[in-house]
Amino acid sequence: MHDDLILATPRGLYCPPGDFYIDPWQPAARAVITHAHADHLRPGSAHYTLAAPGEAVARRRLPADTTLTAVPYGEPLVFGDVRVSLHPAGHVLGSAQVRVEHQGRVWVVSGDYKREADPTCAPFEAVACDVFVSEATFALPVYRWPPTERVAEEILAWWRDNRARGVASVLFCYALGKAQRVLAELAARTDEPIYLHGAVASLTEDYRAAGIRLPVTLPASEPGTRPRAYAGALVVAPPSAAGSTWMRRFGECSTGYVSGWMRIRGNRRRRGCDRGFVLSDHADWPGLLRTFRDTGAARILLTHGHSDALCRYLREQGVAAGALATEYGGEH
Amino acid sequence: MRRLAALFERLDATRSTRAKTEALVEYFRGAPPADAAWGVYVLMGRRMKRCVGAAALRQWLTEESALPAWLVEETYASVGDLAETVALLLADRTAAPAESVPLAEWFEWRLQPLAALPASEQRALVTGWWRELPYLECLLATKLLTGALRVGVSRSLVTRALADCLDVERVGVERALMGEWTPSAAFFESLARPAAVAHPDQPYPFHLASPLEGAPDALGARERWIAEWKWDGIRAQVVRRAGSIAIWSRGEESVAERFPEIVAAAAALPQGTVLDGEVLAWDGRGVLPFASLQRRIGRKAPGAKIQRDIPVRYLAYDLLEADGADLRARPLAERRARLESLVREATAVAGGPGAGGWSAIDVSPVLPCGSWGDLAAAREQARVRGVEGLMLKDAESVYRAGRQRGAWWKWKLDPLTFDGVLLYAAPGHGRRSNLYTDYTFGVWRDDALVPVAKAYSGLTDAEIRDLDRWIRAHTREKFGVVRSVEPLQVFELAYEGIAASTRHKSGVALRFPRILRWRTDKPAREADTLAALRAVLEAPRG
């Protein structure tokens, strides 16, 4: 609509009265960031605003001289005559929803979010608003997440089976967020050390520095002359390591992949992994619908994912819904 | 059923053959014999006659899920498998799943009786199962209801595990599981005494050839090898025993009723004969294209007209049993010599060849070519003769079960190729269900592109992802799940044959088209023309 508070522009989601962008995909004068995943945090903007708990991981992904303001959750900011505040999205450490208030109207841009408990980040906070801009990554009714405890127990049982057979367990997780969430869930269940791929290790240190309880971790370095150094071990690695020469150090191993996409068998087979574990940092179908009710929003705008299906479904349910074209990938 | 679900999960979670065999052995040992028998049935990919249509299942799914029909369809398109969609949408919604029902009871008391019930009762039963079954059992039960369940274990793996667990020879188990059998406790127990289960029509497990890569010189002396045409028909065994005649396809389907001409000719064979060979569509001049044979396969009881229009013929190339004795351990050269005299005598018994000068059962000739070079030259004629290439068989080879490297080679022709332009894309099924992997390609007719082929395979996973991204970014229109794309991308496609078709807009049908490579170097206007494809169609047949 013409006087919308947030517009989809070629540069990114833009707020005209506040003159700032949210997660722009091209450089902007001022960028308010929901979280540090690469499709939401891109380098090149003149100034970044983000939630304080996410500062360390964001700095790791931006050039050293970047100008950045880290604000606590809930603290009000003023851009022009627009009031802006950041609220926990429950997606990863420091992930935020952006609340934008202008002349009595309130819009909330969710970024990515989930409703399940996560020991590594503040839980999602339902923020009352007129318009809720939501992700739709898993917006099909087949996406219903099993309880996190059950998935954590499955991972543990898989690791134990592999250990009994004397082979390594290599678990592929997105390096920022998912890996640390899985580590934290395992820390509540075992004291054993877990090996990390380099891409996971540095981010994990940021989480540890933020006071999150994690297990003892060791670098999954070259085994050198130790034969079968990784027999029975659990190794956490980013999905990009699958099929790479880096994997050779483990010899015979079983592979697992942790993602909401693993809900569909075909996705797991395409990944070529032995096991798929259904654990996502995004909202599932019931989670999306519940969140829309919780915010009390009269209008829902959808960004990335299965937005067409969800949009049509909401309209048929009598909810004013639309789409905002973005370049967020959201497929992790 | 819970035991089968656990087995399914274990098989699914490993790529190791050893671990799969272990899982199978444990399953067969742990299951009651009647369940184990049905387990074998499922694992061998056997299927019940379908008793509930997919349309009805979708309807019930929509009603049970309380979702709009379009959303169920869209979800199904994304998942790519109906049974999985059912389980994902409906299973695990109640806290306490039902107690497990044994597999034999599932088949004998639940699934099989369903066929005789009116739709309303079918609906009540099936949706009741959906409501109470846990995820994996819901998926398996629905799969069994809709037909076959693919478990991802080979036939030989199952028979090996059975042989291990029953402590018998694998060959005996293989043979006992050929042809028709009814799962029961008694059947499973009889597998431990394989001789007891042989029934009169039973065929032998087929010996399969491997593709020959490169030149045949590496095979050694030419004299050691028997060369034959590689026919493009249906591999089948003709079993003539104890007053009965059966024809078994490689898929272990009994196909005798489809080919009455061959059955009639087989009556002249002596009792206790098993031939291995090929069913072909044949006119006075030679073999007809596979498309013709396909029309015959489609008729369970072919009428006089189609028998006249598309006659069939069986060309035998092996003799597995004569005078009731199993010849498979004899060398091929000896089997073939006996085959030739046996068929010659049978033809004489029948009063010589038929009216057209040929018999419905004959011997596939041995090619006399003296050197590997002569043979290569003969292979070059394969296309004009309507065959796929050559077979090279070790003259000393015994007839074994399954694919055996080294003894039999298929030396196929290089495929025909053309360059086509990508026109439409649709999501794949199964493991490719949320990528655009089903492609339609077109060639030029004047200034327009006409669709000529659909292909699903041939690209690497990385290419599939790149192309998927390109398709999403270059969509012109959406028709349901199908997208038309900008006609810019050219692909080289291979195919095995071409036939005229009235069912296709292009007027031609291609056999087994697949993608050879993505021609990123080629602009769309340099793709092939329909006229060029038709020229192949109209090339003279030898």
Pair A112, A35: CB distance under 8 Å: yes
Tokens 């992700």 appear where?
A135
Helix, strand, or coil (residue B246): strand
Beta partners for residue A305, in sequence order: A136
Q: What is each CA distance from B476 to A42, B191, B423, in whole angstroms?
A: 30, 59, 10
pLDDT above 70 covers a percentage of chain B that reads 96
Given the structure tokens 């409501």, which residue do they identify? B131
CA contacts within 13 A on the Cβ side of B341: 6
Residue B251 has pLDDT above 80, yes or no: no
Q: Is residue A330 part of a domain?
A: no
In a domain, A331, yes or no: no
Q: What is the pLDDT, as a whole number, of residue B198?
A: 58
Which of 45-74 (A) contact B at CB < 8 A? Answer: none
Using one digit for the tens of pLDDT, what is the confidence trace for B476-508? 888 878 899 999 999 999 988 888 888 888 888
Tell me the C-alpha distance between A308 and A305, whole Å. 8
Same domain? For A111 and A221 the reply is no
**Residue-wise pLDDT tens digits, B153-182:** 888 889 889 989 988 877 778 878 877 788
3-state class percentages of chain A: helix first, strand second, coil last, to nearest 5: 25, 25, 45
Residues A283 and A138: beta-carbon distance below 8 Å: yes
Contact B435, B464 (CB under 8 A): yes
Residue A308's CATH number: 3.60.15.10
pLDDT of B17 strictly over 50: yes
Residue B542 has pLDDT above 70, yes or no: no
Asked if the model's pLDDT at residue B430 lies above 80, the reply is no
Q: Quick one: A202 and A116 in the same domain?
A: no
Interchain contact, A141 vs B75, CB within 8 Å? yes
Contact A142 B75 (CB under 8 A): yes
- Window 449-468 of B: residues touching A by CB (8 A cutoff) are 461
List the one residue out of B435, B436, B423, B418 whose CA is nearest residue B514.
Answer: B418
Chain A residues with CB inside 8 Å of B70's CB? 312
Report residue A304 as tokens.
């990335």
SS3 A108: strand
Mean pLDDT computed over every residue of chain B: 88
Do A258 and A131 lie in one domain? The reply is no
Domains: count for chain A:
2
Residues 403-432 of B with CB under 8 A from A: 429-432
Q: Are residues A26 and A122 in the same domain?
A: yes
Among A255, A277, A299, residue at a domain's last position? A277
Q: Are A135 and A99 part of one and the same domain?
A: yes
Contact B515, B458 (CB under 8 A): yes
| Least confident stretch, A31-35, B79-83, B441-445 | B79-83
At residue A224, what are phi and psi to the nearest 5 degrees? 60, -130
CB nearest A265 (choices: B68, B84, B461): B84
Could you give the CA distance from residue B141 to residue B130 in angstroms, rounded to a whole number?
9
- Nearest Cα residue to A214 out of A244, A241, A192, A245: A192
CA distance B173 to B169: 7
B433 chain-A contacts, CB cut-off 8 A: 264, 266-267
Name the residue of chain A whose CA is nearest to B75's CA: A140
Q: Please give the Cα distance from B287 to B468 (Å, whole number).
A: 41
Contact with chain A for residue B85, Cβ under 8 A: yes
Higher pLDDT, B223 or B243: B223
User: Is a pLDDT exceeding 70 seen at residue B145?
Assistant: yes
Please determine, for residue B431, whether its predicted confidence score (pLDDT) is greater than 70. no
Per-residue pLDDT tens, chain A, 332 aa: give them.
557 999 999 899 999 999 999 999 999 999 999 999 999 999 999 999 999 999 999 999 999 999 999 999 999 999 999 999 999 999 999 999 999 999 999 999 999 999 999 999 999 999 999 999 999 999 999 999 999 999 999 999 999 999 998 999 999 999 999 999 999 999 999 999 999 999 999 999 999 999 999 999 999 987 776 767 899 999 999 999 988 889 989 988 999 999 999 999 878 877 778 899 999 999 999 999 999 999 999 999 999 878 889 999 999 999 999 988 777 764 44
Query: How would you label B367-384 residue by residue, b for 16+ Cβ within 10 Å and e otherwise?
Result: bebeebeebeebbeebbe
pLDDT value at position B213?
Answer: 81
Q: Are residues A96 and A17 in the same domain?
A: yes
- Please state, in angstroms and rounded to a whole number, the distance separating the CA atoms of residues B99 and B210: 47
Residue B171 CB partners (closer than 8 Å, separation 6+) = B205, B401
* Contact by Cβ (8 Å): A175, A260: no
CB contact set of B376 (below 8 Å; sequence gap of 6+) = B215, B216
**More confident site: B529 or A331:** B529
Same domain, A298 and A257: no
Q: Specify the pLDDT at position B155.
A: 82
Residues of chain A contacting B431 with CB distance shorter than 8 Å: 265-267, 269-270
User: Tokens in use for A189?
Assistant: 């269940």
Statement to judge: residues A273 and A295 lie in one domain: no
Does A175 lie in the same domain as A134? Answer: no
Contacts of B387 (CB under 8 A, 6+ apart): B229, B230, B231, B232, B287
At B276-296, the pLDDT tens digits run 999 999 987 888 888 788 888
Give domain status of residue A28, yes or no. yes
Name the more confident of B507 and B243: B507
Neighbours of B494 (CB within 10 A): 18
**Shortest distance, CA A144 to any CA of chain B (angstroms):** 8
CB A213 within 8 A of CB A148: no
Residues of B marked active site are found at: 230
pLDDT at B248 over 70: yes
Between the two ends of chain A, the Cα-to-Cα distance in Å is 31
Strands A234-237 and A194-196: parallel
Give the 3-state DSSP-derived string for B477-530, with helices as H, strands as E and coil as C.
EEECCEEEECCCCEEEEEECEEEECCCCCCCEEEECCEEEEECCCCCHHHCCEH
CATH at A199 = 3.40.50.10890
Does an H or E element contain B405, and which? none
Distances, alpha carbon A48 to alpha carbons A5, A33, A54, A166, B460, in Å: 20, 7, 12, 48, 40
Q: Indicate whether A79 belongs to any domain.
A: yes
Nearest-CA distance B56 → chain A (Å): 20
Helix (H, G, I), strand (E, B) or coil at A281: coil
Tell me whether residue A2 is in a domain: no
- Predicted local confidence at residue A227, as pLDDT: 64
Angle ∠(B474,A303,A23) on CA atoms, nearest 5:
100
User: Does a structural domain hold residue A152?
Assistant: yes
* A203 Cα to chain B: minimum distance (Å): 28
Query: Does residue A221 fall inside a structural domain?
Result: yes
Statement to judge: residues A103 and A45 lie in one domain: yes
Domain that holds residue A32: 7-142+282-323
Q: pLDDT tens across B86-124, in order? A: 999 998 877 677 788 999 999 999 999 998 999 999 999
Domains of chain B by start residue, with CATH: 2-146 (1.10.3260.10), 207-412 (3.30.470.30), 416-537 (2.40.50.140)
pLDDT tens, position by position, B327-340: 999 999 999 999 99
- Is residue A258 domain-shared with residue A287, that is, in the same domain? no
Asked if B106 contacts B143 with a C-beta cutoff of 8 angstroms, the reply is no
pLDDT digits (tens, 9 = 90+) for B208-231: 998 888 788 888 899 999 999 999
Q: Which of A277, A292, A308 is the last residue of a domain?
A: A277
Query: For residue A249, is it within any domain?
Result: yes
Rounded distance, CA B372 to CA B227, Å? 10
Same-domain pairing of A185 and A84? no
Q: Do A263 and B88 touch (CB under 8 A)?
A: yes
Task: Give the C-alpha distances (Å, rounded to integers) separating A4 from A1, A29, B18.
Answer: 5, 21, 62
Closest CA to A306 of A284, A279, A290, A276: A284
Query: What is the C-alpha to C-alpha distance for residues B366 and B354, in angstroms, rounded to an integer?
Result: 22
Instruction: With a cut of 90, say whether residue B384 has pLDDT above it.
Output: no
